Structure 1
């Protein structure tokens, strides 16, 4: 399984909800096993620079690539890019047992 995490900062704090809305259309893309878009709670004692988080789970690289190639992904970029300052992304392979604690 591939986990996809993307962190965003807003150029203008007043437009964070617009970023959330622009990213929320990603949930309509069928290739993700799970996809969440949320505002950062900003409860960390050391740093709260991130405004919005996208978290996705994909069965494999093929599904992740199909997600990124989807027209709604491009629409989301079109909406969000002008509003965001920073975008950091990480994709990593998670073992099936990694959900156990």
Structure 2
């Protein structure tokens, strides 16, 4: 059995214009080059839940510590991703657990 991560970071995004969903994914994928996450994924939501269609893109990451998450958010690529994605997104909801 693998050890559980100290911290999971999940962020949900919705696109202002659904045609920009792929551009949002691409803007978020640059975060994969930040070295502080143990696991990092960006996926387009498959929209298969009949009760919820607000979320277009999901980011999932695992960190070994709060310090690793802070270092991830302080990395210059994090700001570059924000600049690329913010104009295209409507909703952004994050959860850390």
The interval holding the TM-score normalised by the smaller chain is: over 0.9
- Measured in 2, the distance between the counterparts of 1:16 and 1:51 equals 7
What's the CA shift string for 1:44-96, capped at 9, x where partnerless? 1211210000000000100000000000000000000000001000001xxxx
- Measured in 2, the distance between the counterparts of 1:48 and 1:84 equals 15
User: Aligned pairs, how many?
Assistant: 92
What's 1:66 paired with? 71
Matches within 5 A, 1:1-101: 1-92=6-97
TM norm structure 1: 0.90
Unaligned runs of 5+ in 2: 1-5
Unaligned runs of 5+ in 1: 93-101
4+ residue segments displaced more than 6 Å? none
- Measured in 2, the distance between the counterparts of 1:86 and 1:49 equals 8
RMSD over aligned CA atoms reads 0.5
